[in-house]
Structure 1
Amino acid sequence: MHQLPTTTGSAFDALSRELALVVARDGRIEWVDARAERHGLAPASDLGASVVPGCEDKLTDLLRRAAEEPVSAWEVPLVLAGKPVTVSFAAQPVDGRIALLGSLLPQDYADSIREADRAVHEIVTLNRQLARQKIRLEESNNAIKALHTELEQHADRLRTSAEIKSRLVAGVSHEFRTPLHSILGLSRLLLSGSDGPLNDEQQTQVAFIRDSAEELSRMINDMLDLSRLDAGNAPIRAARFALRDFWSALRGTMRPLVRDDGAVALVFEPAPDVELETDQGKLAQILRNLIANALKFTERGVVRVSAVVADDELRVVVEDSGIGIAAADQARVFEEFVQIDGALQRRATGTGLGLPLAKKLAEALGGRIELDSTPGVGSTFTVSLPLEHAEIDAFRKLEIAAQTPDPSRAPVLVVEDDRSAVFVYERYLAMAGFQVLPARTTDDARTLLQQVRPSAILLDVMLEREDTWNFLADIKRDPATRDIPVLVCTVMNRESRARALGADEFWLKPIDEDKLIRKLQTLAAGRSAKVLVVDDEPAARYLIKKFLEATPYKLLEAADGLTGVQLARSERPDVILLDFLLENMTAFDVIDQLKADPRTRPIPVIIVTSHALPVEERRRLAESTEAILSKEHLSRELAINRIRDALRHAGIRERPPGSERGGT
């Protein structure tokens, strides 16, 4: 049987910071030593009554555990001798009771403990606040994602709506043209009297029919033009012409619109003696709309048309003495189907398409329209546009550059009459290391073929007023050019005819950029396939070098990722064998840099690694690489087969061994 501890007061005086007591399981004190008595603890009292309020659970947990097993370093805040103090208890069960040996902690330590408790409490509180904030942020993020998705869906609907509108306008307009032409033709036939004269009343009626049909025809034409401009399908047909000749033709066109009563005079001031190089038809359409509008809304006075040239810019001014436009309405007149309300406007016929169309045409020519108007005084429209369309200057520079072939870049003959399309080809083909030789006509293309042999010909078979099918047939019949690959790129599906005439490829516009570059890279004649090995282990590079001996492949080596990317850009290999883990880089870093550059984006990549890749990393690599090979199982046959697979998937036909010798 365990004996209760006994001691003397002198012993506890030596151990002045310790006390001992025995308590029942419910905390009732059964025995205390002298030190405990001096601190106010007495037998038959409740130890729980000395606990600092709010800390009762700490004593309860201590007694519950100590009744079953020894416990040490259990801290309980007590009020002893009227002062709060922290006591660290060691306890153990003794014959159904609990013996406690307490050590009073120094006040500074106790304070630090309390501070730590408060800090822990604050941290817990802060964590709870952060958790709530995280939930709110997640909810906000989800709301933003939902809003973003909704905006994307709305944008898709708008794009779809715009496309449907464009198709509907184009389709309906074309369908309207056929019956309109019949109405116009028949009304003119009736007015001509070829089948017998009409009486005055009949002539008036038929004239009304003709005028209404002509107005509807103009509206349809304007709608079609706006639809093309909105869709970006209005090509610029820039050509050089004299302003004075254009001025004279415009004056003759507009004279019939002047009323016979002489209330309004149309005056053309003499034009400067200057030449322009822009789209003459679109410029004429702009000015016709502005002049017709001025005549329509001028009841009496003059409509004056003048032109000046300043700073390589033509400025045409159409000034009238009509009803004018209020400042609040001046922006609205350039909106489609908008007409300002007023007595004269209600009497005048029209659809509200003339000014919006003129504005968009001016912008397509690189210019602008400005309006200055005062109600009751008149309006002044000023059209400003460059003497030379920007496409002309850019295209001329491209043609001049093409006259000096760059030996470091493979030439590609682009036969295309749309300058915008040529610029698109030039932009990404030049970045991929090709030199674009532009030809807007088949005659230009034939001339260039006499001067240079291109790696490939990019041909649009829908050139305006050109028989490109005969050009394609001539290319494939001529022994000097029949081996040049011809890639037909057009908007009409005529693949069977193109293939029959010898086209090597047929693509519908718009062309996939990577696909085109990859195909052209395979057609860059005169070399065997290049294989770039990027690995920081010399032994691994040596092993692959031995594997590829006696093969037609040309091996390039890089000992780190940055060098590998630089070699890929300068040498443009056909296949890259890439170690997964390089010094300071991973395969993901290298692939990101390769995909960011148009010159290296199409190059197939084969991962060669000695690491066991996690499923997620393997999945990510599989999305952007040709294959993933283990160094442990790598063999000559496996390496060569995977390289051949990559070349075949990229559309590269291998040269037979030895064929590169003596080639050019």
Structure 2
Amino acid sequence: MMMPPPVAHQLDELSREVALVCDASGTITWADLRAENVLAAQRGQKLRALAAQGTEEKVDRLLLQARDEKVVGWELILCRDGQKPTTFAFSAQPRDGHLVLVGSLVPEDYGAALAQVSSTLSELSALHRETERQQRELHRRAEELQRVNRDLEESNRGVRSLHAALDEKAESLQRAAEVKSRVVANVSHEFRTPLHSILGLSKVLLNPLNGPLSAEQEKQVQFIRTSAEALYELVNDLLDLSKAEAGKAVLRPSRFATDEFMRGLRGMMRPLVPLESSVELFCPEPPAGLELETDEAKLSQVLRNLVSNAVKFTERGNITVTLTQGPRDTVSFAVKDTGIGIPPEYHERIFEEFVQVDTPIHKKVKGTGLGLPLARRLTEMLGGSLTVQSAPGQGATFTVTIPRVHPEVKEMTGLTERAEKLDPAKAPVLVLEDDRQTLFLYEKYLERSGFQVLPVRSVEEARRTVQRVRPAAMVLDVMLEGETSWNFLAEMKTKEETRDIPILVVTITDREQKARALGADEFWLKPVEATQLLRKLGELAHRGPVERILIIDDDEVHRYLLKQLLKDTPYMLMEATSGKEGIRLAREKAPHLIFLDFLLPEMTAFDVLDELKADPRTRDIPVILQTAHELKEDERSRLARETAAILAKHTLSREVAIARIRDALSKAGLGSRVEEREVRRG
């Protein structure tokens, strides 16, 4: 059946194939209609001429291969008049010396997809090569890391060995230092006794009242006395230096005016300058009204040493001691002389023990070699520094710069001020200790552990503090400066109102048996570790929460008086001016105890008590009733059943209030009830 022409035309348009016949040389001998329409292929035209530029060789290879065998799916890019390249997948087969070629049109999107696939494959290949390269690099680095780890492990073993050796050396040096300190102290004390005898006897011999001496004998005895004085000075300096090095020198700060200090210093230093000397000593007046708060004795000792040193190396001229104010609340004492001076290379060495300047002029003057090291040590104890400026032949200026107020004094003042303001969230711990540094240490131990340090440095101060505040625990050093606290320990454990306060004795002398016999709950030798102290306080002391007390009273004056009576106690006070407000606060704040006035403007104590007892949140809160009203017998009976105590306002005192509070809290079982109420509130 013949198709109508329009249908045949549509089939031609929809067809995606072209057919060509070529001879052996590649010349087109026949082309179908679609080949003529799509490619403009004509008889006699070379198939090579239809190839896109650059793909001619691919056409030649197709023709060559198709002569011998059938070819399927050979892609060629052919063009019509050099324009609009089209991709075909050709199949070719030899027939009677000619080649029959049928090409299937490849869609443009397929070609683009093939190009994309080709590009993606190229990228994957490059990525694969890069991955392999990175793997090789990682492998190399892993090997390098293993080598470094082996080196570090070897170094670590070496460092551990070195640390062990250093620890052993440090222990050895510490033992040697302790032995040296004990030997120096013992020897120094042993030297003092015979030296006192020598000095005393030489003074007796030189006294004309005890019989005349010949001129030669007097000269010899004077030599003996001079040598004994030099040796005595050496022993004193050696002992003081040993104490300073061992940290055993006690700091005794006090407040004093500089004008009085300089006048006293002038009087002490004038005898250091011989009468026959041509050296004058000047001490200009210091700034008026200036006060220092530091160790006056140690500061005086430093300046005496510096003046004594200046006298030795100044043959003529003057020695001037001046005082000036410096920056950041410091003061500077300068001891300036017109002596022989000190070479620059010795400016630091002179502060080393037993070191003296090695010049002919300095060798003429004998010294102990301990005065300047001791002066620097004492200056450092005062929180300052000692420096020197000098040059040969131009004299020397030694400058002592110290804080106007010693750092420990500032710390102690801050510690005392912090203790005066009780933190209701912390339990107070009274610490009786005369060493300021130990007090600071205890504060650091306890500041983040629910305790507040109440520092005291004497037994009398401890007694005053206990009258003001009931501590949750006490830490006592029984060996104080100038007294012991044994009697205070016995007193605290004997009195009914303080016997239940846990007391920990921490001291330097092993008297555990005595401490336990007097009632101490724990005994330790110094030093005590932070974890050790906190663990024991946690076991023995009640840390809170601090008792909250609600005062319900419309009388502002009486509320003020009650607050004054409970001032400086570890209780946190809240106020309500009416019964309704008090009930609301009791429900919201869950106080541990309530002070309730009998007569309120809009309701009586019975009404408030009924409201409190009806609410599970407030039912167990103990109530202390206060009244200035004469109660009837039935009223008193009922109130006695529903309250912890009934107090008359006109007889209320601090002692009575605190005692009733303790009784009420104790009967209420504070330790467990507080926790229950806190849980209910949460």
Query: Which interval holds the TM-score relative to the shorter structure?
Result: 0.5 to 0.7
Q: Which of 282, 285, 296 is residue 270 of structure 1 equivalent to? A: 285
Q: Which of 181, 188, 197 is residue 186 of structure 1 equivalent to? A: 197
CA shift, 1:381, in A, is 1.3
Matching residue of 1:289: 305
Q: Which of 237, 249, 255 is residue 240 of structure 1 equivalent to? A: 255
Where do residues 320-359 of structure 1 align in structure 2 (5 Å cutoff)?
Answer: 320-359=337-376
> Which whole-Å CA distance do the structure 2 matches of 1:15 and 1:308 have between them?
107
- SS of 2:542 mapped into structure 1: coil
User: Residues 407 and 121 from structure 1, CA distance in 2 versus in 1: closer, same or farther, beyond 3 angstroms?
Assistant: closer
Where do residues 524-563 of structure 1 align in structure 2 (5 Å cutoff)?
Answer: 524-525=541-542
User: Residues 500 and 233 from structure 1, CA distance in 2 versus in 1: closer, same or farther, beyond 3 angstroms?
Assistant: same
Q: What is the one-letter code of the residue matched to 1:419?
A: R
Q: What is the one-letter code of the residue matched to 2:272?
A: L
> Which whole-Å CA distance do the structure 1 matches of 2:122 and 2:143 have between them?
31
Where do residues 603-618 of structure 1 align in structure 2 (5 Å cutoff)?
Answer: none
Matching residue of 1:219: 234
> Which whole-Å CA distance do the structure 1 matches of 2:354 and 2:217 have between them?
33
Residue 249 in structure 1 maps to residue 264 in structure 2: yes
CA shift, 1:116, in A, is 9.3
Where do residues 110-129 of structure 1 align in structure 2 (5 Å cutoff)?
Answer: 122=133, 126=137, 129=140
Matching residue of 1:441: 458
CA shift, 1:176, in A, is 1.1
Q: What is the one-letter code of the residue matched to 1:482?
A: R
Q: Which of 459, 483, 491 is residue 500 of structure 2 equivalent to? A: 483
CA shift, 1:451, in A, is 0.6
Residue 173 in structure 1 maps to residue 184 in structure 2: yes
Contact 1:169 1:224 in 2 (8 A): no
Matching residue of 1:159: 170
What stretches of structure 1 move > 3 A for 4+ residues in a row?
9-16, 107-129, 194-235, 271-274, 309-312, 655-664
User: Residues 431 and 223 from structure 1, CA distance in 2 versus in 1: closer, same or farther, beyond 3 angstroms?
Assistant: farther
Contact 1:187 1:207 in 2 (8 A): no
User: Residues 663 and 217 from structure 1, CA distance in 2 versus in 1: closer, same or farther, beyond 3 angstroms?
Assistant: farther
Q: What is the one-letter code of the residue matched to 2:310?
A: A
Residue 365 in structure 1 maps to residue 376 in structure 2: no
Q: Which of 436, 440, 449 is residue 419 of structure 1 equivalent to? A: 436
> Which whole-Å CA distance do the structure 2 matches of 1:242 and 1:335 have between them?
33
CA shift, 1:152, in A, is 2.3
CA shift, 1:237, in A, is 1.4
Matching residue of 1:498: 515
User: Residues 111 and 321 from structure 1, CA distance in 2 versus in 1: closer, same or farther, beyond 3 angstroms?
Assistant: same
Q: Deviations over 1:182-216 (max 9, x none)?
A: 22122123223378776554554454444444434
Matching residue of 1:300: 316
> Which whole-Å CA distance do the structure 1 matches of 2:516 and 2:219 have between them?
58
Contact 1:190 1:206 in 2 (8 A): no
> Which whole-Å CA distance do the structure 2 matches of 1:223 and 1:192 have between them?
24
Q: Deviations over 1:168-189 (max 9, x none)?
A: 3311112212331222122123
Contact 1:238 1:279 in 2 (8 A): yes
Tell me which moved more, 283-292 or 394-403: 394-403
Q: Deviations over 1:580-624 (max 9, x none)?
A: xxxxxxxxxxxxxxxxxxxxxxxxxxxxxxxxxxxxxxxxxxxxx
User: Residues 270 and 278 from structure 1, CA distance in 2 versus in 1: closer, same or farther, beyond 3 angstroms?
Assistant: same
Matching residue of 2:410: 393
Q: What is the one-letter code of the residue matched to 1:306?
A: T
User: Residues 254 and 133 from structure 1, CA distance in 2 versus in 1: closer, same or farther, beyond 3 angstroms?
Assistant: same
Q: What is the one-letter code of the residue matched to 2:184?
A: S
Q: Which of 365, 390, 393 is residue 376 of structure 1 equivalent to? A: 393
- SS of 1:506 mapped into structure 2: strand
- SS of 2:256 mapped into structure 1: strand
How many residue pairs match? The answer is 443
Contact 1:183 1:213 in 2 (8 A): no
Q: What is the one-letter code of the residue matched to 1:174?
A: A
Matching residue of 1:613: none
TM-score (norm 1): 0.59
Task: List gaps (5 residues or longer) in structure 1.
Answer: 1-8, 17-106, 529-654
Contact 2:282 2:319 in 1 (8 A): yes
Larger Rg: 2
- SS of 2:519 mapped into structure 1: coil
Residue 474 in structure 1 maps to residue 485 in structure 2: no
- SS of 1:407 mapped into structure 2: coil
Q: What is the one-letter code of the residue matched to 1:280?
A: E
Matching residue of 1:460: 477
Residue 318 in structure 1 maps to residue 332 in structure 2: no
> Which whole-Å CA distance do the structure 2 matches of 1:173 and 1:526 have between them?
47
> Which whole-Å CA distance do the structure 1 matches of 2:544 and 2:257 have between them?
51
Q: Deviations over 1:487-542 (max 9, x none)?
A: 111122222222222211111122110111122122332879xxxxxxxxxxxxxx
User: Residues 126 and 256 from structure 1, CA distance in 2 versus in 1: closer, same or farther, beyond 3 angstroms?
Assistant: same
Q: Deviations over 1:247-270 (max 9, x none)?
A: 233233333322342222223223
CA shift, 1:239, in A, is 1.1
> Which whole-Å CA distance do the structure 2 matches of 1:243 and 1:217 have between them?
30
User: Residues 198 and 491 from structure 1, CA distance in 2 versus in 1: closer, same or farther, beyond 3 angstroms?
Assistant: farther
> Which whole-Å CA distance do the structure 2 matches of 1:478 and 1:495 have between them?
22
> Which whole-Å CA distance do the structure 1 matches of 2:480 and 2:418 have between them?
23
Contact 2:323 2:334 in 1 (8 A): yes
CA shift, 1:236, in A, is 2.2
CA shift, 1:472, in A, is 1.9
User: Residues 119 and 661 from structure 1, CA distance in 2 versus in 1: closer, same or farther, beyond 3 angstroms?
Assistant: closer
Percentage identity across paired residues of the two chains: 42
User: Residues 137 and 224 from structure 1, CA distance in 2 versus in 1: closer, same or farther, beyond 3 angstroms?
Assistant: farther
Residue 138 in structure 1 maps to residue 149 in structure 2: yes
> Which whole-Å CA distance do the structure 1 matches of 2:493 and 2:217 have between them?
62
Q: What is the one-letter code of the residue matched to 1:410?
A: A
CA shift, 1:434, in A, is 1.1
User: Residues 481 and 658 from structure 1, CA distance in 2 versus in 1: closer, same or farther, beyond 3 angstroms?
Assistant: closer
Contact 1:166 1:227 in 2 (8 A): no
Contact 2:253 2:296 in 1 (8 A): yes
> Which whole-Å CA distance do the structure 2 matches of 1:523 and 1:197 have between them?
75
Q: Deviations over 1:42-99 (max 9, x none)?
A: xxxxxxxxxxxxxxxxxxxxxxxxxxxxxxxxxxxxxxxxxxxxxxxxxxxxxxxxxx
CA shift, 1:325, in A, is 1.7
Contact 2:426 2:544 in 1 (8 A): no
Q: Which of 508, 522, 540 is residue 539 of structure 2 equivalent to? A: 522
Q: What is the one-letter code of the residue matched to 1:268?
A: C
> Which whole-Å CA distance do the structure 2 matches of 1:189 and 1:527 have between them?
65
User: Residues 402 and 119 from structure 1, CA distance in 2 versus in 1: closer, same or farther, beyond 3 angstroms?
Assistant: closer
RMSD of the TM alignment (CA)? Answer: 3.6
Q: What is the one-letter code of the residue matched to 1:391?
A: E
> Which whole-Å CA distance do the structure 2 matches of 1:14 and 1:339 have between them?
110
TM-score (norm 2): 0.58
User: Residues 119 and 158 from structure 1, CA distance in 2 versus in 1: closer, same or farther, beyond 3 angstroms?
Assistant: same
Contact 1:191 1:203 in 2 (8 A): no
CA shift, 1:227, in A, is 4.0
User: Residues 438 and 123 from structure 1, CA distance in 2 versus in 1: closer, same or farther, beyond 3 angstroms?
Assistant: closer
> Which whole-Å CA distance do the structure 2 matches of 1:460 and 1:264 have between them?
51
